[in-house]
Structure 1
Amino acid sequence: MAEPLKNMYNDVFFSQFVQKVKAVYPAFQEKRFLHFLFDENWETKELKERIRHITHSIAYTFPDSYEDSLRILLTLHETCQGFEYLFFPDFVEVYGQDDWDLSLHALTIFTSGSTSEYAVRPFIEKDPEKMVATMLTWADDPDEHIRRLASEGSRPRLPWAKPLHEFKKDPTPILPLLTKLKQDESQYVRKSVANHLNDISKDNPNIVINICRSWKGTNPNTDWIIKHGCRTLLRQAHPDVLQLFGFSKNPTVIVDQLTISDNSIDIGESFTFQFRLTNPLEEAALLRVEYAIDFVKANGKHSRKLFKITENTYKHGTVQFTRRHSFKNLSTRIHYAGTHHLSIIINGNELDSISFELTNKEKQTQP
């Protein structure tokens, strides 16, 4: 299993950080900082809790003036790059709410070193109108990190962050921002715009469909954005979205000979499955080919997860598919024993399925 991200904050990291601080702030009280940092609760803190605790430790040992403390962090910025320095923008989030001009400028600088997408959100919640105006100017910035911050920071459903409920309910105020970025030359920015559209689609699908209709075909970069931004609606086989991208809601194709390598698989193992796809018509068919697994949850009920295989145009004839799926436990998915179901989905239609047992031998062998 991968090392937990929170463990990147270790003795070696803080030893290096302390030396960097002392180089620009000789009055820094190293022992006081480390004593406050490694308190009796440090080992129990998760990643975000550790980031916030580092922020408080900095405030405890840096100058009392927010402006003076921020100046030190800005001086350190060039030598403190990477995800582990998320506590730089977090310091602005926690202590900079009363000095917007200074704080927002700092966030545009810190975002290239780690990301300010989380730290900017309390400012948006406090004054959405002012922040939308600010982010519209960020969208014109020559730095791709700042342009991305405009889109990513205002996402209604940004992962690891509290939702922006006002924009979940009505995303209209942030649409001009996305329009500005819809042809951005940076894939880093375009991916954020697509993820932003995908967020909106979960609460306001019709708004996204109308946007995509108006954007489609205007620019290759924009076409990539709308396709990626509609991925949830495509998985849901939304009829308007299927039509938008040229997929037939009820394609005349046949799926058969679905087989799996083993009808009983232990948690942690893998199986392979095969099926045959036939287009009996002379006309080619544009198909979105997926498979679904109905996973058993902890309460014994099922939850379906879709996995994309391909999107392609298939001429008259037959194609054989073979795929492998792992049932290794992940941080995002824990497997439970029980009867599971594998289904083949074509343009949103379930055309064949098979059941299998997932077992937990480790649990069965315990005394």
Structure 2
Amino acid sequence: MDEMIDGAVVGQLARLLRQVGVEPTALEACRVADQKLRRRVDVVRDALLVDLPPGYDEAAAMVRAAFEDETFTGWMLWPVSEAVVDRTLASGSARSFDDALNVLALLTTRLSGEFAIRRMLDARLERTLEVAAAWTRNPDLHVRRLASEGTRSHLPWARGVPELVRRPGVTRAVVDALYTDESEYVRRSVANHVNDLARDDPDLAADIVAGWLDHPDENTPRVARHAMRTLIKKGHPRALELMGFEGSDFQVDGPSVIEHDVPVGAEVRFTARITNTGTVAARTAIDYIMYFRKARGVLRPKVFKIMSRSIAPAETVLVDTSYSFRARTTRAFHLGEHAIELQVNGRPYGRDTFRLMDPEEMS
């Protein structure tokens, strides 16, 4: 991902700006090699702020002029959008603030403005959300998605907007307007948005999805499931009910770990048996909880999905699954004892442990 903004991209951006009357001296002198993507964005933005005219109106006019060239597209637009926001916030003008939102809507048709809009939300939350609500009716799907994605409370890679976390209900009008959007790209953003809300106000997230299910279209059940995925894993009662997971009469044998000494790079495999001891069929969400050992020795849980299925009375479902401890950038593994529990409709059952080992010590 770091290479999305490389020397070639910076050079192309410089050429485009020169065509519209900007002398890109600082831009051509900046170096982005050997830096992470976020830092590359900041370096290019800072160079743009040197090269662009100092006033908002002049800078925005240059950006709009460059947009007339179809090659003004892709990842180069991220630092451009950040520079536009910097100029409008420095101006302190309400008029330029609204115009900058229009520029972001324009740029987002070629690359999402979801990161740049975060500082605008931080500066003037109510006005930015008012404009985002209007975007939900925009004919361009990328602008509609920006309304949802840019206002998420926990948008990955993006700077936080504390007020969105403190007031999780302020974006409800946006997601309620878009959950039946014709674009799956937009609907998926809406589901992720509500899944974010579930971290801050689980009951609100469930209420939003309940409202959708009262007025569904053919895509709503899938959107609702994706929006409720974290609450389902956490066993939130209303979320389980909304998704139709019913039943609590189970006999669970296991989980049973097959090999209790597991080398880093290998898999831990475990089995279990789940029997419905009730008198009616139970629709079940079957997950497992992996308790990862952290650097200080404590165990931290992480829920992983196994399956969703209906279990008839007296029926037994066999579980045979595994987790891989292969090296990955998203999680650091620590040697020592780990544990596994099974979870059925939000309730934990059983527990078995294993040791994560250094492969060289096992040879």
Deviates more, 1:197-206 or 1:71-80: 71-80
Tell me the TM-score normalized by structure 2: 0.88
- Map Cα deviations across residues 260-316 of structure 1 (whole Å, 9 max, x no partner): 342212222223333223224452210001011100001110110110111111224
Structure 1 match to 2:28? 34
CA contact (8 A) 1:184 1:221 kept: no
Whether 1:52 and 2:42 are equivalent positions in the alignment is yes
Structure 2 match to 1:7? 3
- For residue 44 of structure 2, what is the amino acid of its counterpart? I
* Distance change in 2, residues 1:337/1:218 (3 Å): same
- For residue 41 of structure 2, what is the amino acid of its counterpart? I
* Distance change in 2, residues 1:172/1:280 (3 Å): closer
Query: 1:243, 1:310 → 2: CA distance?
Result: 17
Structure 2 match to 1:101? 98
Post-superposition offset of 1:345? 0.9
Post-superposition offset of 1:21? 4.0
* Distance change in 2, residues 1:14/1:124 (3 Å): closer
* Distance change in 2, residues 1:242/1:29 (3 Å): closer
Q: What secondary structure is seen at the aligned counterpart in 1 of 2:303?
A: strand
Unaligned ranges ≥5, structure 1 = none
- Map Cα deviations across residues 167-223 of structure 1 (whole Å, 9 max, x no partner): 322233322222222321111111222222222222222222322333324213333
Select the residue among 70, 79, 83 that pairs with 1:87.
79
* Distance change in 2, residues 1:255/1:81 (3 Å): farther
Post-superposition offset of 1:257? 5.3
Q: What secondary structure is seen at the aligned counterpart in 2 of 1:108?
A: helix
Post-superposition offset of 1:108? 0.3
- For residue 244 of structure 2, what is the amino acid of its counterpart? G
Structure 1 match to 2:145? 148
Structure 1 match to 2:242? 244
Q: What secondary structure is seen at the aligned counterpart in 2 of 1:79?
A: coil
CA contact (8 A) 2:6 2:33 kept: no
Structure 1 match to 2:345? 347
Post-superposition offset of 1:45? 4.1
- For residue 73 of structure 2, what is the amino acid of its counterpart? Q
- Identity, in percent, stands at 27
Whether 1:294 and 2:291 are equivalent positions in the alignment is yes
CA contact (8 A) 1:344 1:353 kept: yes
Deviates more, 1:326-335 or 1:142-151: 326-335
* Distance change in 2, residues 1:33/1:245 (3 Å): closer
* Distance change in 2, residues 1:340/1:283 (3 Å): same
Unaligned ranges ≥5, structure 2 = none
Whether 1:73 and 2:63 are equivalent positions in the alignment is yes
- Map Cα deviations across residues 325-365 of structure 1 (whole Å, 9 max, x no partner): 21123222110001001111111122222111101246x69
Select the residue among 209, 213, 225 that pairs with 2:210.
213
Query: 2:164, 2:56 → 1: CA distance?
Result: 30
CA contact (8 A) 2:257 2:353 kept: no
CA contact (8 A) 2:4 2:37 kept: no
Query: 2:76, 2:300 → 1: CA distance?
Result: 34
* Distance change in 2, residues 1:344/1:70 (3 Å): same
Structure 1 match to 2:316? 318
Q: What secondary structure is seen at the aligned counterpart in 2 of 1:116?
A: coil
